[in-house]
Amino acid sequence: GENVEQHPSTLSVQEGDSAVIKCTYSDSASNYFPWYKQELGKGPQLIIDIRSNVGEKKDQRIAVTLNKTAKHFSLHITETQPEDSAVYFCAARADSSASKIIFGSGTRLSIRP
Amino acid sequence: GAVVSQHPSWVICKSGTSVKIECRSLDFQATTMFWYRQFPKQSLMLMATSNEGSKATYEQGVEKDKFLINHASLTLSTLTVTSAHPEDSSFYICSARAPGGGGYTFGSGTRLTVV
């Protein structure tokens, strides 16, 4: 089955700087890669996603890149703000009828004022 | 956008009792819903896939007799934790896939504490 690894587990950046979180996946059949932001005591919220036929996607300060050959995908947050502090999860879904998504281990992002 | 409602948001129960958690898709029909469990400072671990009108598919290591899943309609899936024990205390989260090949929407989670 699919296995998703995520790094780093914690990340602290100065407000205004950029943050990068990286993930790798194991199943070459995976075709959908969402990123979620989770605040304390709440469910995950989708912030951006990318499909396997696209190499990069951007939405304002957030961008995701995908390298299918290397089975890597990354989240980039620019001009970080205090409200970006949260736990971020990458995930992957294999192209199968199960349609289930598997999560990475999470990155706790802290924005220093 | 697609909204998934989960209730209750928190529940405390005595050891040995059963607890039911509801997951509803409010503005769309979901033939498939997913149940996750999350321990403090850990990731979301998929427990099972809930299929409308049929049996749930459980992940390896998840006890189907302990975690009963019922998906009786296209908008409601329930997870019942039977004979709960303190080690079942966790954050339980459901999700559903939005129609038209959309992304997965998650509920707000249920904090279960077994005392």
A15-62 residue pLDDT tens: 999 999 999 999 998 999 999 999 999 999 999 999 988 899 999 999
Res. B109: pLDDT tops 70: yes
Pick from A50, A100, A103 the residue to mutate for testing the B interface (most B CBs within 10 Å).
Answer: A100
Please check whether residue A65 is in contact with residue A56, taking contact to mean a CB–CB distance below 8 angstroms: yes
Q: CA A55 from chain center: how many Å?
A: 14
A70-98 residue pLDDT tens: 999 999 999 999 999 999 999 999 766 56
Contact B43 A104 (CB under 8 A): yes
DSSP A84: G
Confidence category of residue B102, pLDDT binned at 50, 70, 90? low
Contact A43 B108 (CB under 8 A): yes
DSSP A46: E
At residue A100, the pLDDT reads 85
Chain B hits for A41, CB-CB cut-off 8 Å, are 109, 111
B2 in reach of chain A (CB within 8 A): no
In our burial notation (b when 16+ CB lie closer than 10 A, e otherwise), range B2-40 reads: bebebeeeebebeeeeebebebbbeebebbbbbbbbbee
Pick from A5, A10, A46 the residue to mutate for testing the B interface (most B CBs within 10 Å).
Answer: A46
At residue A2, the pLDDT reads 86
Task: Kindly state the average pLDDT of the residues B74-93.
Answer: 96
Chain B hits for A45, CB-CB cut-off 8 Å, are 106
At residue B103, the pLDDT reads 78
Res. B61: pLDDT tops 80: yes
At residue B58, the pLDDT reads 95
Phi and psi, residue A83, nearest 5°: -70, -5
Task: Kindly state the average pLDDT of the residues B43-69.
Answer: 92
- Prior bond to A113 cis, omega within 30? no
Chain B hits for A102, CB-CB cut-off 8 Å, are 46
At residue B2, the pLDDT reads 82
User: Residue B62, Cβ neighbours under 10 Å: how many?
Assistant: 17
